[in-house]
Amino acid sequence: LTLTRADCEALDRADPLRLFRDRFVLPPGTIYLDGNSLGAMPIAARTRVAEVMEQWGTDLISGWNVHSWIDLHERVGAKIGRLIGAGEGETIAGDSTSINLFKALAAALQLNPKRRVVLSERDNFPTDLYMAEGLIRHLGQGHELRLAAPDEMADAITDDVAVVMLTHVNYRTGRMYEMDAITATAHAKGALMLWDLAHSAGAVPVDLSRAGADFAIGCGYKFLNGGPGAPAFLYAARRHHAAMQPVLSGWFGHCAPFAFEPSYRPADGIAKMAVGTPPIISLTALEAGVDLMLEASIDDLRGKSLKQAEVFAALIAQEASSFGFHAASPGDPAQRGSQLCYEHENGWPIMRALIARKVIGDFRSPGILRFGFTPLYLGFTELWDAVAILRDIMTTRSWDKPEHHARARVT
Ligand SMILES: *Cc1c(COP(=O)(O)O)cnc(C)c1O
């Protein structure tokens, strides 16, 4: 059975999410398969940021009160919480994913003080491992970062593990853990569970409450379309709020920041995990992205994402099977996030050649071509066109031009 361009056009016509595309700024002629790295720009982000700039210019410092800038990180956090199955008052926005990992891991270790092992995955996104290393070094209490492979994870959760720290959807392969099962195993062994949702929030259905997760963090600039370097988020289950102690005890986590007391007293609830003055302009852009996500149904998003992956894989098999691409993502859609990866010995120049033809995916060392599916603004016909361009690049060997072999700093 062959898939035609007309089939893809029919899928686009039947797509319940198709109108969301008009709510984004997208350069004409570009096929964007990298919204998992930096999401596209919502039109509303531009207008809302312009409004905040206006407020800043007009109202100066009174903006903190009259425009409620002062609790914007809590309001945006609450909205993100709705996308990840958090309860009321369990999520705040702010800081970077790396910083939030540090904060959440420190809090979790302090809540499980008799144990000394942080268990994670060898192929986790490196900053998560680096931050854990730095925290362990800083604590100086003999903690150990133990790394296991995904297939061995459940068995690796032994009864000396303090915290299991995993990224739900792997950034390279798209492989997705069974959140409920792993969390239950961690709890059965007396460990706390910390999930990184960088490639999950806004991409796949997540229900932290149902899973019983202890802590979670995630990224604002990927599927949430919050803009380059957007604030990240942090979730802590309510049952930990009273006992958890912020390692970064900044004045925005103080119970009375404007009392200017000489000593730290934590705020109640998730508010204590804030650190310093929230970035109002960036939070405003992030809110525009999150609002769009809340308007769409996550089940529609997931349905379309799975269909897009199915169509893309079928097109690669149909059009490019003789060119040496090896699928590097799990075959079972239930075990995948919203991306597909292929291994190829010439992965780097092939991706550069694709980008030169305005098909934007990305390359992850050593030889992975990564294609992300962002159902809010990506169509099926674009998938057809992307694979047709890939086929042309392979057939003509245009990927082998010297300019495509040069390395860039950001890949
Ligand atoms: C993208 C990503 C990050 C990014 O961290 P920053 O602090 O925003 O640079 C961290 N962890 C994972 C798993 C990611 O995918």
pLDDT of residue 78: 98
| Structure tokens, 354 | 């694709």
User: Which residue is associated with the tokens 């120049």?
Assistant: 349
N- to C-terminal Cα separation, the chain: 36
**Which residues lie below 8 Å from residue 345, measured CB to CB, with a gap of 6+?**
324, 367
pLDDT of residue 368: 94
Task: Report the atom number in ligand 1 closest to the C-alpha of 196.
Answer: 13
| Structure tokens, 238 | 């309510």
pLDDT of residue 163: 99
Protein residue whose Cα sits closest to atom 10 of ligand 1: 97
pLDDT tens by residue, 225-273: 999 999 999 999 999 999 999 999 999 999 999 999 999 999 999 999 9
Closest CA to 49 of 282, 291, 290: 282
Q: Does the beta carbon of 96 lie inside 6 Å of ligand 1?
A: yes
Does position 292 have pLDDT exceeding 80, yes or no? yes
Does position 86 have pLDDT exceeding 80, yes or no? yes
Does position 380 have pLDDT exceeding 90, yes or no? yes
pLDDT of residue 1: 74
Crossing angle for the helix pair 347-356 and 380-395, to the nearest 10 degrees: 120
CA of 382 to the centre of ligand 1 (A): 27
Among 98, 131, 275, which is best to mutate for testing ligand 1, by the most ligand atoms less than 8 A from CB? 98
SS3 category, 88: coil
Does position 207 have pLDDT exceeding 80, yes or no? yes
| Structure tokens, 233 | 């988020």
The one-letter code for the residue type at 313 is A
Crossing angle for the helix pair 298-320 and 380-395, to the nearest 10 degrees: 30
CB 106 within 8 A of CB 135: yes
pLDDT of residue 372: 97
| Four-point Cα dihedral 185, 186, 187, 189, nearest 10 | 90
CA of 5 to the centre of ligand 1 (A): 36
pLDDT of residue 159: 97
Residues identified as active-site: 125, 196, 221-222, 370
Q: Does the beta carbon of 308 lie inside 6 Å of ligand 1?
A: no
CA of 20 to the centre of ligand 1 (A): 26
Helices (H), 34-178: 43-59, 63-66, 72-83, 97-111, 126-139, 153-156
| Structure tokens, 183 | 């969390």
Distance CA 294, CA 296 (A): 5
Distance CA 166, CA 197 (A): 9
CB 176 within 8 A of CB 337: yes
Protein residue whose Cα sits closest to atom 4 of ligand 1: 97
The answer to pTM > 0.95 is yes
pLDDT of residue 365: 87
User: Which residue is associated with the tokens 């990180």?
Assistant: 73
Please state the rounded mean pLDDT for residues 154-181. 97
Does position 25 have pLDDT exceeding 90, yes or no? yes
User: Which residue is associated with the tokens 């059009």?
Assistant: 319
Q: What is the DSSP letter of 254?
A: B
Protein residue whose Cα sits closest to atom 5 of ligand 1: 97
pLDDT of residue 358: 98
Label residue 209 by pLDDT band (50, 70, 90): very high
Other CB atoms within 10 A of residue 98 CB: 17
Task: Report the atom number in ligand 1 closest to the C-alpha of 229.
Answer: 8
Percentage of residues in the chain with pLDDT exceeding 90?
98
Mean pLDDT of the chain: 97
C-alpha radius of gyration, the chain, whole number: 22
CA of 218 to the centre of ligand 1 (A): 7
Q: Does the beta carbon of 214 lie inside 6 Å of ligand 1?
A: no
Label residue 323 by pLDDT band (50, 70, 90): very high
Percentage of residues in the chain with pLDDT exceeding 70?
100
Does position 408 have pLDDT exceeding 90, yes or no? no
Protein residue whose Cα sits closest to atom 2 of ligand 1: 198
